[in-house]
């Protein structure tokens, strides 16, 4: 290896390590700003100021979904299995919205402690299977694949 080539190799390595370290530190500093949504237990521990607009993510609690009398407002509980929060949303829900499904809602908490959402997005999980397999899993008593909190909320 000639000195010239060695010099260039060192230059490349310094470039990669230096830049990697700089970006790593920057991302570490902005850790919180990079979160796309907060979980209900983060809200409970006071990580978000009330009255502020933010995104809330979690699983729709089974059996908690109900329609208000106006016909288009939906109220449901959102959980991360540790904490939970009641969400109210007026408008059309995405196709994947159902009980046990992970969703991300954007809005604020009102005086009554209800999260009033302006937008609701469905968060798809990483499980793909034919309907018969999902059915079989459910019957076998295994946890329903969509409600595995570890994989849906991260």
Residue 146 beta carbon to another protein: minimum distance, rounded to whole angstroms: 7
Taking alpha carbons only, the member of 36, 40, 27 closest to residue 114 is 40
CA distance 93 to 76: 12
Q: Tell me the window of 29-37, 45-53, 68-76, 107-115 that interacts with another protein (CB under 8 A).
A: 29-37
117 CB contacts (<8 Å, ≥6 apart)? 56, 87, 88, 89, 105, 106, 107
Is 109 one of the binding residues for another protein (CB under 8 A)? no
Question: End-to-end CA distance of the chain, in Å?
Answer: 47
Is 104 one of the binding residues for another protein (CB under 8 A)? yes
Measured at the alpha carbon of residue 77, what is the angle toward residues 71 and 78, in degrees to the nearest 5?
125
- Which of 95, 112, 139, 141 lies at the binding interface for another protein (CB under 8 A)? 95
- Which of 94, 99, 116, 149 lies at the binding interface for another protein (CB under 8 A)? 94
What is the length of the chain? Answer: 154
Nearer to another protein, 43 or 120 (CB): 120
Nearer to another protein, 76 or 112 (CB): 76
CA distance 46 to 148: 25
Is 96 one of the binding residues for another protein (CB under 8 A)? yes
Residue 61 beta carbon to another protein: minimum distance, rounded to whole angstroms: 18
Sign of CA dihedral 122, 99, 40, 92: positive
Judged by CB under 8 A, the number of residues near another protein is 48
Is 139 one of the binding residues for another protein (CB under 8 A)? no
Nearer to another protein, 111 or 146 (CB): 146
Residue 49 beta carbon to another protein: minimum distance, rounded to whole angstroms: 18
């Amino acid at each position: 290896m000639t000195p010239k080539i060695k010099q260039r190799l060192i230059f490349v390595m310094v470039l990669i390590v230096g830049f990697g370290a700089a970006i790593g530190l920057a991302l570490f500093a902005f850790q919180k700003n990079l979160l796309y949504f907060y979980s209900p237990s983060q809200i409970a521990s006071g990580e978000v100021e009330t009255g502020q607009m933010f995104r809330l993510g979690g699983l729709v609690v089974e059996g908690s979904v109900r329609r208000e009398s106006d016909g288009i407002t939906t109220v449901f509980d959102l959980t991360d299995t540790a904490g939970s929060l009641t969400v109210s949303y007026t408008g059309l829900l995405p196709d994947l919205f159902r009980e046990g499904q992970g969703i991300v809602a954007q809005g604020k908490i009102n005086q009554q402690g209800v999260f009033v959402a302006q937008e609701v997005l469905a968060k798809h999980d990483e499980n793909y299977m034919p309907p018969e397999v999902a059915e079989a899993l459910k019957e076998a008593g295994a946890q329903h694949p969509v409600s595995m909190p570890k994989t849906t909320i991260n």
